[in-house]
């Protein structure tokens, strides 16, 4: 897993709530046996016309050249539904390292963290504040400090005085893993003897 400390980047806004993992990556693209190449089909059915799968939908943010960056900002309850980790793989493969929302589904949150993607949960108001910013605005995410800051907006959020910031929660263990790029599996493998001991006692 790739470590993550700070990210400063523009963002891609998808102001839709309850984005489920079937939208992030439709089931018909889950047939691969490797983790690569899913970015191509990220948000496939929202990105391309239904009757012509090669024709991008002009009104979808991923197809609008003014939006770019490593940060996806989405409406609340992001990643609900299917447990497919392919959703995290496709976001990562496309180039996203951070997803900002006001609420995340459980399994998605775990899958994201296990792939070096940071889910940043902010309040509904702060989320709306970000959505109100223009496309040149950059967001700064500092994992060590657990903060997210709006910077460089040409069109400052109302009442925000040109900038705004918030802090976010992350479990200390997961934070350490992400800061250093450690995987859970390495830790679990390191305690195999304790696991065997547990099995002996419980059986």
Tell which positions 62-91 bind other proteins, by CB under 8 A. 76-77, 80-86, 88
Distance CA 173, CA 137 (A): 31
Question: Is residue 41 involved in binding other proteins (CB under 8 A)?
Answer: no
The neighbour count for residue 21, using CB atoms within 10 Å, is: 24
Strand bridging mode 71-74 / 11-14: parallel
Number of residues that bind other proteins (CB under 8 A): 53
Out of 8, 9, 20, 146, the only residue in the binding site for other proteins (CB under 8 A) is 20
Scanning the structure block, which residue is given the tokens 């400063």? 8
CA distances from 117 to 45, 100, 153 (A): 23, 11, 25
Contacts of 88 (CB under 8 A, 6+ apart): 108, 111, 112, 114, 115, 117
**Considering the complex, what minimum distance in angstroms separates the CB of residue 10 from other proteins?**
24
Sign of CA dihedral 184, 190, 192, 195: negative
Our finding on whether 93 is near other proteins (CB under 8 A) is no
Among 58, 65, 171, 200, binds other proteins (CB under 8 A): 171
Of residues 94, 79, 82, 96, the one with CA closest to residue 42: 94
**Which span sits near other proteins by CB under 8 A: 22-30, 90-98, 131-139, 143-151?**
22-30
Among 173, 179, 180, 181, binds other proteins (CB under 8 A): 173
Answer yes or no whether residue 106 interacts with other proteins by CB under 8 A: yes
Q: 140 or 178: whose CB is closer to other proteins?
A: 178
Work out how close the CB of 7 gets to other proteins at its nearest, in angstroms, rounded to a whole number. 21
- Alpha helix segments (H runs only) across 10-135: 21-24, 44-47, 86-94, 106-113, 124-132
Min separation Cβ 129 and other proteins, Å: 15
Examine residue 3 and tell whether it contacts other proteins (CB under 8 A).
no
Q: Which of 110, 97, 43 is nearest to 71 (CA)?
A: 97
Q: Which residue stretch of 31-39, 56-64, 136-144, 147-155 sits at the interface with other proteins (rule: CB under 8 A)? A: 31-39
Q: For binding to other proteins (CB under 8 A), which residues are involved?
A: 16-18, 20, 22-23, 26-28, 30-35, 45, 50, 76-77, 80-86, 88, 103, 105-107, 110-111, 114-115, 124, 171-174, 183-185, 187-189, 191-192, 194-195, 198-199, 202
């Amino acid at each position: 897993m790739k470590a993550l400390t700070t990210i400063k980047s523009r963002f891609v806004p998808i102001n839709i709530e309850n984005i489920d993992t079937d939208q992030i990556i439709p089931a018909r693209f889950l047939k691969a046996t490797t983790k690569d190449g899913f970015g191509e089909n990220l948000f496939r059915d929202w990105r391309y016309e239904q009757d012509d799968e090669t024709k991008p939908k002009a009104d979808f943010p991923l197809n609008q050249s003014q939006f770019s960056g490593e940060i996806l900002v989405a409406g609340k309850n992001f990643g609900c539904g299917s447990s497919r980790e392919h959703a995290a793989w496709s976001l990562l493969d496309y180039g996203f390292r951070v997803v900002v929302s006001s609420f995340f589904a459980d399994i998605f949150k775990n899958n994201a963290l296990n792939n070096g993607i940071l889910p940043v949960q902010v309040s509904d108001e702060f989320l709306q504040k970000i959505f109100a910013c223009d496309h040149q605005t950059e967001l700064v995410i500092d994992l060590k400090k657990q903060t997210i800051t709006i910077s460089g907006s040409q069109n400052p959020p109302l009442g925000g005085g040109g900038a705004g910031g918030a802090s976010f929660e992350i479990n200390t263990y997961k934070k350490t893993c992400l800061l250093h790029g450690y995987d859970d599996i390495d830790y679990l493998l390191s305690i195999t003897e304790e696991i065997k001991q547990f099995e002996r006692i419980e059986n």
